[in-house]
Amino acid sequence: MTLLLIVLIQKQHTVQGNTSTPGLPAMSQIPMPALSSSGFSLTKEHFLVAVPVAVVAAVGGFLVSHYLSGRGCKKGQVNTCISKDSPKVVHSFDMEDIGTKAVYCRCWKSKKFPFCDGAHAKHNDETGDNVGPLIIKKKDA
């Protein structure tokens, strides 16, 4: 803004035949920094400072992003031990064989899988999850 004001004042005085502004140095007298042909130069000292700073910034960014991504839901295997040699764990039951009620595990932690043994309670306490069993009852006729 100041430079623009100086340029405008100089143009006004130049138009009026005045080549200098009272109280302000002429534009040719203002020292300008010398720039290399590309406009940017990096000395060895600058490089030795810039590289460690860049490395620290990159490592810091990685650690922060890693920390923040670990705070959300973690994707992983639900089934950690049941029929791992099988490509898919499937259990099928006939409704007639169930009796009046069947309780099935949905947390994959039961020692009696596919039936629930209450292992989800410990799982929920440890993980903050809220999983429970699947309960199937026959309707009274």
Q: Which residues are catalytic?
A: 88
| Amino acid letter, 47 | F
User: Which of 133, 138, 61 is closest to 95 using CA atoms?
Assistant: 138
Give the β-pairing of 134-137 and 101-104.
Answer: antiparallel
User: Which of 109, 110, 112, 105 is closest to 136 using CA atoms?
Assistant: 105
Distance (Å, rounded) from C-alpha 41 to C-alpha 44? Answer: 10
Q: Give me 127's structure tokens.
A: 């993980």
> Contact 26/19 with Cβ under 8 angstroms?
yes
